[in-house]
Structure 1
Amino acid sequence: MMMGKRGELGPKFPEGQDRLINGHEGVVWVPSQDRFAIVLIRGGDSLDPTRYTEEESYFEYGCDRADGLFCDRMYVNPDMLLAIPEGHVHDGRLDLSFAKKMVFPDPFACMLFQLERMEDLGSAHLFRRTARRLGCGEEEARAAAKEEIFERTVIFGLGTTGMFIGDIIRQAHPDARIVFVARSPEDSPKVQFALRQAGGTYVRSRHDRPEDLAAEICRALGGRATAFIGVSGSSAEHEIAFTHRVLGCNGLYNSFSLGPKITFDTMPFGFENHLIFGSINFRQDHMEKAIQMLARSSYDRIVELIGREEFAADPIGAYENRIYCKNAPMKTAVIWNRDKINMEG
């Protein structure tokens, strides 16, 4: 958004600067194909999302070929229009409840990819120790290690990203002990919704000393964390995990935040055998799975609408004053063509 406000993205897109520049999240109507579709925006058709190369800029990586730009003008790559499940279109109109859920496939797909990477890395990181403890072969040990890495999981931050990864871990690993950490009151709708989805425990971050917060997290976990997922965007993540030793021996640290720097003392880090990784992306199959899972979910309950006229008149003002501000809903959506939406659906 800041690059767009400074006019730094002009050569990449059609004319006009007084609007947000971002990847599209939501459902579009494709007149030439007479159907609704989801726009695939990140990762493209690559076999592996680690396609970001030394020759690319981050901006090209995130947006090239598939950026939405409101999709009002169909400024999308036609090869990246994914199908929606059957049963959500009636008399040519899309059910509103389903449309609300479909603002989330992009971040949900990101979290499916995070699950895959954590399972892969956790399996590789722990299987030899697991094989020795269980007295089994590599294949059985790797399967067991995928479960063990989530045995005590901290999710530090509770926006939609934190909510999604908790939900996804719970569905894939029902026995995982999950502790969410954030600043919101325990009785806030956001916290209560997240706990219903993931069945986890909540620790409110309101301590004067970080070591006290760390101690409370460990009590809630029943020990030190086997996996620590940072999604808050704050430097407190790595301080709690490393300086205050919430991340346990052989633990996995997943940095999903954009912005904070990670620092750690190399002596305990090396001896405690920690593994740190960060990889923000997904493949097309993650997006397709996200669409199916979200269609069965209740995430439409956390989406509120803003009028198209209000948003289009001043997108940046709407972003700053309605969408990303104190007391804003967890997610805000715009209906661009009401004729295509079943408002009662």
Structure 2
Amino acid sequence: MTTLSRPDLSDIRRGDWVDRRLPIAWRPYARLARLDRPVGIWLTLFPCWAALIQASHGHPDLRQLAIFSLGALLMRSAGSTVNDIADRKFDGHVERTRFRPLASGEIVTRQAFIFLTVELALAASLLFFLTPHTRLIAICVLPLVFVYPLCKRFTHWPQAVLGAAFNWGMLMAWAEATGHIPVGALLMWAGAIAWQIGYDTIYAYVDLKDDARLGLKSTAILFGRHGQSLIGLFYALAVGAWSLGGWLLEMSPPYTIGMLVIAIHLARQTRRIDLARPEVNYRLFLANILTGVLLACTALSGTW
């Protein structure tokens, strides 16, 4: 009789490019910043690009694209470092996170704080290239960045807080490109939050048993066996908010076709969710990089 092996759910892949190409001393920091797992960077970046495209009517300034791209990289890395510092006592007991640098003892907390200071200083240096209005909006996201890792201790909705912080660049993009944030842009941001609640809940189902054992909270624990239908609901809310936001922003007819493609993609994703198979849910989480690509392309088509 053949015995099926349990899938390895660890998010650290030994022998990857970090181990092959970086000096030993640099490796823990590359993993702390999630440079070996860039999915979060793309999930932050594509909605921001979509906002820049909409705000500029399809002609985003290359300088702004560069600044916001670097900002997404640095703030996502800083947010990941904050998360690992806050969760260092939990991560060693969770299958997916047990080999992270702080959990495994590769570095100590003091080193992580020094690294975080460098990340935030580099991110802050980008503010000098933005308008005062955008700088103020950028600073307002910091409480969300630092509160998010603690949310799983007292609320089942850390995914909503993460969604607000992750997609804050959309608001900054409008402020920088136009000097104001219209209602349509706020709806696009709200749609991105709903989308993130959906895909991050899929991700949270990977850790469901470990989180429940440790007394942590998440939308996956809250939704339980109703997860598939509720994730589908949040995906529907995302498409609805993006559609209404696009209409208020006077997107052209091709935008509607793009929204239809996104709706089909998210519906297929929802149909494939299997709450009992973490490896399937992890692949579905990764599939949302394509959702981000489709959103940016839809924004561009809406400006034709």
TM normalised by structure 2 equals 0.31
TM normalised by structure 1 equals 0.28
Q: Which has the higher contact order (CA 8 A, sep 6+)?
A: 2
Higher Rg: 1
